[in-house]
């Protein structure tokens, strides 16, 4: 199946098919220009990347390979510089294509490399985690982190194609799968109440590895994101639809910046977003953007889904002052306040500004 992303001359398709990594079907000719820079991480090398290199070489591609470290701490300018060194040493031209193979960290960094190498080369996303499949691989956001905040440095650079093979999910841990489900659940809250209800009925099947249920969850998530991105590619309108994708992210990104976590260690991205969605749902109730009865029901149902997915909904011993300072640096802010996306009803959200004290109160009532 394919999901189109309609962006005029930058339009592309998301190909979703079990076994797609074997055939590479669904990608356009621009994905195979004769030389490919394959950026992945060391963890995936023996599992996926080695075989993918062979398939690309069988198609006549010269492959330049760069394996980066696995994890958010490697999404830095230093890692990007090492990738540039590898491309320069290999004589990689501006006619080549950069392929990102891995999770969201790999995709963001590889996209940043593609956007800046010789002022931009073709880019292909091959996400291998649920989180990357339904979120970061679609929409063209690329970037690296800065010590002050997440994703401060980056560019919008659309891929020429996205290749999703749900079979890759079999290698994920239950925790990693749950982290991806946070973003899937988000789509139901922000855009599709019926999808949220479907998730309530089918979450256990996804967790059990049911191929049909998993493929539908990926497809519907990609459809929603593609529609939103098609309306507002660069998030130019602070109150437009693309801003709605940030539900849970203002608070969640502050947790990631502070390396906040629980007994398992620092939160994964999806775990931080689940906590952020919980706080921002409560914020919507406190601000009256959603009726208290409906808001309490939404919060209860969302929290129950998170629990079934093994996701956290609070964080112990948070330094709120430090978290608030991180939120004030969020690049999505406009004007003097801090912006949050909060529910208006199940399937619809709205942007608001809130003070530190209001957010603190919202947290205290969870």
In order of 36, 65, 81, the CA distances from 68 in angstroms are 16, 10, 11
Task: Tell me whether residue 60 is exposed, middle or buried, using C-beta atoms within 10 angstroms of its C-beta: 0 to 12, 13 to 18, 19 or more.
Answer: exposed
Residues 324 and 184 in one domain: yes
User: Per-residue pLDDT averaged across 254-268, rounded?
Assistant: 90
Residues 74 and 187 in one domain: no
Q: How far apart are CA 118 and CA 293, in angstroms?
A: 55
**Helix spans in the chain (H):** 20-23, 50-58, 77-90, 104-116, 130-131, 174-191, 193-207, 211-231, 249-257, 269-287, 292-308, 320-328, 356-364
Choose the final residue of a domain: 121, 143, 170. Answer: 170
Provide CB contacts within 8 A for 132, sequence distance 6+. Answer: 102, 103, 104, 106, 107, 125, 180
Q: What is the pTM of this model?
A: 0.92
User: Per-residue pLDDT averaged across 229-247, rounded?
Assistant: 80
* pLDDT in the model for residue 71: 85
Phi, psi of 6 (to 5 degrees): -90, 105
Residues 150 and 186 in one domain: no
**pLDDT band, very low/low/confident/very high, at 112 (cuts 50, 70, 90):** very high
* pLDDT in the model for residue 334: 59
* pLDDT in the model for residue 358: 93
**pLDDT band, very low/low/confident/very high, at 195 (cuts 50, 70, 90):** very high
**Residue recorded with tokens 């998301």:** 14
On whether the CB atoms of residues 65 and 88 are closer than 8 A, the answer is no
Residues 160 and 268 in one domain: no
Domain extent at residue 134: 2-170
Choose the final residue of a domain: 170, 187, 210. Answer: 170
* pLDDT in the model for residue 72: 85
> Mind listing the pLDDT tens digit for each residue in 292-304?
999 999 999 999 9
On whether the CB atoms of residues 203 and 309 are closer than 8 A, the answer is yes
**CATH code: domain of residue 158:** 3.40.50.1970
| 68-77, 188-197, 233-242, 280-289: the lowest-pLDDT one | 233-242
Residues 19 and 44 in one domain: yes
* pLDDT in the model for residue 149: 73
Provide CB contacts within 8 A for 54, sequence distance 6+. Answer: none
Residues 52 and 185 in one domain: no
* pLDDT in the model for residue 44: 80
* pLDDT in the model for residue 242: 86
b/e map 246-262, b = 16+ CB within 10 Å? bbbbbbbbbbbbbebbe
Q: Is the pLDDT of residue 216 over 80?
A: yes
**Residue recorded with tokens 């939103």:** 228
Q: Is the pLDDT of residue 365 over 70?
A: yes
**pLDDT band, very low/low/confident/very high, at 250 (cuts 50, 70, 90):** very high
Residues 187 and 282 in one domain: yes
**Residue recorded with tokens 């203002």:** 250
Residues 204 and 185 in one domain: yes
Residues 297 and 342 in one domain: yes
**CATH code: domain of residue 307:** 1.20.1090.10
**H helix and E strand count, the chain:** 13, 13
Q: Is the pLDDT of residue 88 over 80?
A: yes
Q: How far apart are CA 271 and CA 258, in angstroms?
A: 14
> Mind listing the pLDDT tens digit for each residue in 93-109?
999 999 999 999 999 99
Provide CB contacts within 8 A for 266, sequence distance 6+. Answer: 256, 259, 260
On whether the CB atoms of residues 49 and 67 are closer than 8 A, the answer is yes
Residue that wins the pLDDT comparison between 241 and 39: 39
Residues 210 and 334 in one domain: yes
Choose the final residue of a domain: 137, 170, 203. Answer: 170
Strands of 161-164's sheet in order across? 2-5, 12-16, 161-164, 122-127, 97-102, 35-41, 62-68
- Which positions are catalytic? 119, 141, 183, 225, 235, 242, 246, 249, 253, 269
Most confidently modeled of 3-7, 253-257, 307-311, 325-329?
307-311
Residues 34 and 145 in one domain: yes
On whether the CB atoms of residues 308 and 203 are closer than 8 A, the answer is yes
Q: How far apart are CA 254 and CA 325, in angstroms?
A: 8
User: Per-residue pLDDT averaged across 253-262, rounded?
Assistant: 90
Closest CA to 278 of 257, 320, 306, 244: 306
* pLDDT in the model for residue 179: 96
Q: What percent of the chain has pLDDT over 70?
A: 97
User: Average pLDDT of the chain?
Assistant: 92
Q: Is the pLDDT of residue 82 over 80?
A: yes
On whether the CB atoms of residues 235 and 225 are closer than 8 A, the answer is no
Query: How many C-beta atoms surround the C-beta of residue 306 within 10 A?
Result: 22
> Mind listing the pLDDT tens digit for each residue in 159-174?
999 999 999 998 899 9
Closest CA to 244 of 277, 196, 266: 277
**pLDDT band, very low/low/confident/very high, at 236 (cuts 50, 70, 90):** low
* pLDDT in the model for residue 317: 83
Structural domain count of the chain: 2
Q: What is the DSSP letter of 169?
A: G
Residues 232 and 357 in one domain: yes
User: Per-residue pLDDT averaged across 119-143, rounded?
Assistant: 95
């Amino acid at each position: 199946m394919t999901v189109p992303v309609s962006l005029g001359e930058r339009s592309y398709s998301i190909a979703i098919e079990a076994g797609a990594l074997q055939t590479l079907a669904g990608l356009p000719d621009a994905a195979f220009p004769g030389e490919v820079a394959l950026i992945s991480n060391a963890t995936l090398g023996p599992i996926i990347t080695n075989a993918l290199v062979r398939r690309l070489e069988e198609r006549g591609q010269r492959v330049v390979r760069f394996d980066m470290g696995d994890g958010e701490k490697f999404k830095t300018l230093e890692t990007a510089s090492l990738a540039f060194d590898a491309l320069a040493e290999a004589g990689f031209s501006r006619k080549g294509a950069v392929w990102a193979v891995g999770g969201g960290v790999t995709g963001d960094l590889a996209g940043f490399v593609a956007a800046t190498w010789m002022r931009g080369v073709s880019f292909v996303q091959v996400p291998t985690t649920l989180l990357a499949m339904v979120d970061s691989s679609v929409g063209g956001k690329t970037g690296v982190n800065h010590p002050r905040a997440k994703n401060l440095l980056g560019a919008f650079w659309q891929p020429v194609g996205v290749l999703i093979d749900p079979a890759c999910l079999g290698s994920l841990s239950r925790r990693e799968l749950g982290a991806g489900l946070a973003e899937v659940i988000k789509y139901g809250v922000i855009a599709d109440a019926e999808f949220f209800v479907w998730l309530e009925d089918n979450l256990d099947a996804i967790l059990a590895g049911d191929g049909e249920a998993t493929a539908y969850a990926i497809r519907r998530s990609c459809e929603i994101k593609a529609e939103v991105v098609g309306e507002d590619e660069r998030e130019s309108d602070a109150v437009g639809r693309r801003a709605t994708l940030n539900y849970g992210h203002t608070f969640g990104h502050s947790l990631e910046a502070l390396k906040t976590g629980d007994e398992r260690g620092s939160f994964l991205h999806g775990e931080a977003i689940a906590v952020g969605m919980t706080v921002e749902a409560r914020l919507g109730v406190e601000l009256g953007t959603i009726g208290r009865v409906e808001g309490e029901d939404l919060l209860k149902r969302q929290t129950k889904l998170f629990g079934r997915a093994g996701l956290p909904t609070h964080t112990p011993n948070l330094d709120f002052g430090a978290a608030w300072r991180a939120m004030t640096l969020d690049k999505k802010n406009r004007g003097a306040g801090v912006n949050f996306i909060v529910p208006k009803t199940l399937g619809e959200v709205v942007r608001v500004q809130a003070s530190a004290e209001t957010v603190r109160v919202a947290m205290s009532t969870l």
